Amino acid sequence: MIGRKVIMWFRQDLRLHDNEALRDALEVSEQVIPVYVFDERVFKGKTRYGFPKTNKFRANFIIESIKDLKKSLQNKGSDLIIRVGKPEDEIYKIAKEIRTNWVFCNRERTQEESDVQDVLEKKLWSIGQEIRYSRGKMLYYTADLPFPVSQTPDTFAQFKKEVEKIIPIRKPLSVPETLPTIKVKLDKGNVPELSDFGFENIKIDNRRVYEFKGGETAALERLTTYFWDKQDIAHYNKTKDGLIGDAYSSKFSPWLSQGCISPKMIYHELNRYFKKSKNKKAYQSLFYELMWRDYLRLMGKKHGNLIFQKGGVKQESPDLKSDMTIFNLWQKGRTGIPFVDANINELNNTGFISNKGRIAIASFLVKELKINWQMGAEYFESMLLDYDPCSNWGNWNYIAGVGAEHKEDRHLNIISQAKHYDPNGEYTKLWLPQLKNVPNDCIHCISNLDSDQLLEANVRLGVDYPKAMIQIH
C-alpha cells in the first residue's frame, strides 16, 4: 500500500456514502485521486434522431451534483479533479502523468458506458495500468441472487418471487471519516457552467413537482423529509399514481440515476420506517418499485443491446413508422389530446413527469400514432432529469410490447386514462392554461364540444389549442 496512487473515477455514483469503488480504492492505496470527466459526447452530442443527448435540466442537475461532491470531498481533506472531454482520454492522461497504479470505478453495463470503460482499459494496459471494477448501482448484488444474470426470470412477478423474501439486502457502506489529501501536483480543473455546453440558464417553472437540486446532500435531505419530516411515505401506496406536487411519490429518481443516493440507503431507511410504523402496504409498494429498477437493470445485462433495438428483447418487427412530422406534434405537445399535451408540456418545461404520465404519452405515441417507440425513448433520454438507460429503454420496451414480459402488449385508451388519473382536469388545466374555462367534465374530450360551448370556454380550436390529430372514443 505504501506509495500507491490510484484514481477514483466518479461516474454515475456521485456520492460518498455506500460507494464501493471509493471504499475499494481506499483499502489498497494511501493516495486516492478523485476525478470526474464531463463527457463531451453526453453533454454536447446528439441522439440518432437528432435530439440533444442531455437536456439543460439534467446538465444542470449534474453540474450541481459535481459541485456538491467536490465540496464533500474537500470537507474530508481531499478534492475533485475535473475535466471536460472524453473520459477514456482524460483519465488516461492523468494516469500517465502522475503514474498511478490503478483506476477504480463502479462498473457500468450498458453499451455506450461500457464502451468508454473498455477503451480506457486498453489504453491503461499500454502503460502497465488497469481498471479495478466495483459495483454500486443495484439494491441486490448479482452474487447474492439465486440465479446467474443470464437466467434472470423474464417476468417481474417471477423475479420478485425468487428474490423478495429470500435474499437480504446488504447494509450501505458508511461515509469514510477522512480522505487522503491529494499530494501530486495536478491542475484541478473547474466545474463548467451550463453555458459551456451551449445551454441558456434555466427558467424556473413554478408548476414543477419539486425543486430538484443535484447532489448527495440534497438527496439525503429529500430522504429525511420524505420518510420522517413530512412522512409522505405513509400514503405512497395510495398516491403513487398522482400527477401534481412533491407528495404523491418519492422523487428519488434523479438522484438515483446519477448515483447521488444509493438504492440500499433508501431501502434501509424504508425498512426503519416500516419497523416503526408497521405500515406494510407503503413499505411493500416502494420496495417493489425499487425492485423494478433492479429487474430492468438485470434485463439490460441479460439481453444486452436488444433493449435498444426496435424489435426489443422479443426480436419482433413491430409495424411502426419513423414519421418526423407526426412525432413533432407529439414532442411539441400539439396532438390536440389535452392529457397528452399537458404531460409533454410538463416534461418540456421541467424535465420530469409522473410515472402515469410517462405511460400515457408513451403508449399514445406507440399504440395510437403507430410511431417507432425508439424515437420516444430517445426523446425521453434527452429530456428526462432522471434518465437511466435500463429504466428508460426497459419501460419503453414494455410499453411497445417488445420487452421480456409476456403481458405487456396492452392497449391503453388515453381518454379513459385521462379521466381516471385526472378526473377533474386539474392537472391538464395546470399545464394547458388556455383550457382553464373548459368545464371540468369536458376537458378530456374537447372535440365533442359544440361551437357555443367552445365560445363560452374562450377556446378557438385550431387557434388557441390544436384540433385533435386523431379521434379516440
Count of residues in contact with ligand FAD, rule CB under 6 A: 29
CB 365 to ligand FAD: min, Å: 10
Only segment of 134-142, 217-225, 275-283, 386-394 that touches ligand FAD (CB under 6 A): 386-394
387 part of the interface to ligand FAD, by CB under 6 A? yes
Strand 102-106 relative to strand 31-39, pairing = unpaired
Helix (H) or strand (E) holding 103: strand 102-106
Q: Report how far residue 390's alpha carbon sits from residue 419's, in angstroms, rounded to the nearest whole number.
A: 30
Q: Report how far residue 66's alpha carbon sits from residue 86's, in angstroms, rounded to the nearest whole number.
A: 17
CB 54 to ligand FAD: min, Å: 12
395 part of the interface to ligand FAD, by CB under 6 A? yes
CB 269 within 8 A of CB 227: yes
Only segment of 5-13, 99-107, 185-193, 387-395 that touches ligand FAD (CB under 6 A): 387-395
Helix (H) or strand (E) holding 348: helix 338-350
Q: Report how far residue 321's alpha carbon sits from residue 375's, in angstroms, rounded to the nearest whole number.
A: 10
Only segment of 89-97, 108-116, 147-155, 388-396 that touches ligand FAD (CB under 6 A): 388-396
Q: Report how far residue 418's alpha carbon sits from residue 338's, in angstroms, rounded to the nearest whole number.
A: 9
CB 232 to ligand FAD: min, Å: 10
What residues from 210 to 269 belong to the interface with ligand FAD (CB under 6 A)? 240, 249-253, 256-257
What residues from 398 to 427 belong to the interface with ligand FAD (CB under 6 A)? 399
CB 376 to ligand FAD: min, Å: 7
Query: Between 83 and 293, whose beta carbon lies closer to ligand FAD?
Result: 293
Q: Report how far residue 456's alpha carbon sits from residue 449's, in angstroms, rounded to the nearest whole number.
A: 10
Query: Between 31 and 350, whose beta carbon lies closer to ligand FAD?
Result: 350
14 part of the interface to ligand FAD, by CB under 6 A? no
380 part of the interface to ligand FAD, by CB under 6 A? yes
289 part of the interface to ligand FAD, by CB under 6 A? yes
Helix (H) or strand (E) holding 397: helix 389-400
Residue 116 CB partners (closer than 8 Å, separation 6+): 39, 86, 87, 88, 108
Q: Report how far residue 360's alpha carbon sits from residue 431's, in angstroms, rounded to the nearest whole number.
A: 15
Site string for ligand FAD, 334-363 (x = CB under 6 A): --------------------xx--xx--x-
Backbone phi and psi for residue 257, each to the nearest 5 degrees, phi listed first: -70, -30
Out of 18, 216, 232, 386, which residue is the one contacting ligand FAD (CB under 6 A)?
A: 386
CA dihedral 366, 371, 375, 377 (to 10 degrees): 0
- The contact set with ligand FAD (CB under 6 A) reads 240, 249-253, 256-257, 286, 289-290, 292-293, 296, 354-355, 358-359, 362, 380, 384, 386-388, 391-392, 395-396, 399
